[in-house]
Amino acid sequence: MDVAKDRRRRTPALLLVDMINLFDFPDGAAMATAARRITPALVRLRARFDRAGAPVIHVNDNFAQWRGEFRDLVASCVEAGGIPAEIATRLAPQPQHYHVLKPKHSAFASSALPVLLAKLGVRRLVITGIAADSCVLATAQDANMAEYGTWVPSDCVASRQPQRKREALSLLSRSLNARTVASNRVHGLFPR
């Protein structure tokens, strides 16, 4: 048995969905405020993955900017100031992280994510970001269909309205059998 390959399969990858964002859409201010609230928990969770040497993958809408790259999106958010700059500064991909631009709601739809996960040998995903009732939910559904084990930490996802987040977490737990406990309540996530 290949021990390194077996360890990779047990090691989860962290997906940060749509957190690098200008929030320049209807109800964007509400979404920005909710995203700001979860940022400290995301920073702590990402640090856990970094310490464990586990993959961190930033997956973000390309907002129909077909000629741009991920760093262009980060730069646009920093230039915008306010909450977009605050979040982009705290959560910008680090050199050891991966990043994938996606054209649709799910991180899997028409993106390089499935190929990257296969190359990394990952079979478990921790799905975080915004919006719990849209892109996070769509990503978790596709992950479930592809038979990935999933955890959606309740303190690391946000929606425009708290009720929509609660409904999405309930659906994820009931229908997709995803774990939805808070990130500070899960221990032993990584191999020693």
How would you class 185 by CB atoms within 10 Å of its CB: exposed for 0-12, middle for 13-18, buried for 19 or more? exposed
Q: What is the mean pLDDT of residues 161-176?
A: 96
What pLDDT score does 3 carry? 47
For the stretch 114-148, pLDDT in tens is 999 999 999 999 999 999 999 999 999 999 999 99
83, 38 contact by CB (below 8 A): no
pLDDT tens by residue, 77-105: 999 999 999 999 999 999 999 999 998 99
- Tell me how far apart the alpha carbons of residues 165 and 110 are, in angstroms, rounded to a whole number: 25
Average pLDDT across the chain, whole number: 91
Does the reported pTM lie above 0.85? yes
Tokens of 98: 């991966």
